[in-house]
Structure 1
Amino acid sequence: MELCAECGVSVSPRSCGDLFQALLALDHERQAPWGPLHGVSVSCFLFQHPSRLPADGGAMAWALLHAYLEGGLSEVNRLVSRARRGNSHRVKDMPSRVACEAALPQRDAPPPRFSVTIEDVAVDGTFPAEGFTERVRAWAAATVDAWSPPPACERP
């Protein structure tokens, strides 16, 4: 069985890239539950396929994942609004803190596997609406967990 070199899922019968394109098609219809979670889904996919991360190392994607896990869609929407305002031609100085407090992970040692991948979110390849939000939350948590360093051991 051939596996994706980045996320570890089987590339048969559909590759993770094919599944991602199917998810993007649903996202772009802007209907719930897919549309509102577009940024979170893209962020998960990018961090599970780090060769596709933008040149900034995925700072906004990482911030979106943390915002979603900490405050749900309302926090994601607040973050995106701040970023849009900061990117406006009317703003002379971009806000220095649009990203989250969590340090961006080092890209030189990506996780070899993830406990939840796009294959899990896709279920049968169709990304069914029922349970989609819960599957995306699990995907986001698995992505952040895999990239986060283990907690430092406390000494007695």
Structure 2
Amino acid sequence: MPGCPECGAPSDRCERFFHELIILDYSGRSPWAPLHAVSVSCYFFQHPSLVAGQEFYWALLHLYLRDGQDALIAHTVRARRRNSHRYGGRAPTVEDFPGAPPYPGPAVAPTTFATTIEDVAADGTFPAGGFADRARAWAEATVAAWGF
């Protein structure tokens, strides 16, 4: 079975795993839902052909790694509230997740990562036990591969 040309995972099941993870995220249950933004960011940075709004996702990952899940949730709730039609519908920006180093740009996209979505999937089902630790390792590996 060929590997993933973008992230270096041993199989080519990244997209399938991502869709399965998004279903778990949207279930609204822990441990998946609180880390939805981290999962999307990691997947996009490990598959740079898909990335849109890179600076936003970059800042979000750095905030999570620096300040933890609770800070990420607080900033995400605030950004989501601002995006509401009640508050003018402003889409989240880098300013919603302060303190990240500058986004390095797609020209330096790595093609191998110490932890990929395949590792986070574990047995292929994204088991709840240890998910938060695997997601953190995924975020750390993503940022490290990009040189930060």
Give the TM interval when normalised to the shorter protein.
Answer: 0.7 to 0.9
Matches within 5 A, 1:120-135: 120-135=119-134
**Counterpart of 1:114?**
113
Kept in 2, the 8 Å contact 1:59–1:99? The answer is no
How many residues align? The count is 145
Residues 1:31 and 1:18: Cα distance change in structure 2 (over 3 Å): same
Letter in 2 for 1:31: R
Larger Rg: 1
Aligned to 1:9: 9
Matching residue of 2:76? 80
- After superposition, the CA RMSD in angstroms is 2.2
Residue from 50, 56, 63 that aligns with 1:60: 56
Q: CA 1:108–1:26 in structure 2 vs 1: closer, same or farther (change >3 Å)?
A: same
The 10-residue stretch of structure 1 (68-77 or 112-121) with the greater mean CA deviation from structure 2 = 68-77
- Asked if the contact 2:55–2:103 (Cα under 8 Å) also holds between the matched residues in 1, the reply is yes
1:44 aligns to what? Answer: 42
Identity across matched positions, percent: 46
The runs of 5 or more residues in structure 1 that have no matched partner are 150-156
Give structure 2 stretches of 5+ with no counterpart.
none
8 A Cα contact 2:63 2:98, kept in partner? yes
- Scaled by the length of structure 2, what TM-score is found? 0.87
Q: Secondary structure at the match of 1:97?
A: helix
Distance 2:33 2:97 in 1: 22
| Whole-angstrom distance in 1 between the partners of 2:126 and 2:90 | 40
What are the Cα deviations for residues 9-46 of structure 1, in whole angstroms up to 9, with x where unaligned? 1235xx10001111111111010001111111111000
1:63 is displaced (CA, Å) by 1.4
| Distance in 2 (alpha carbons) for counterparts of 1:68 and 1:50 | 20
Q: CA deviation at 1:106?
A: 1.6
For the Cα contact (< 8 Å) 1:85–1:91, is it kept in 2?
no
Specify which structure has the higher proportion of helix: 2
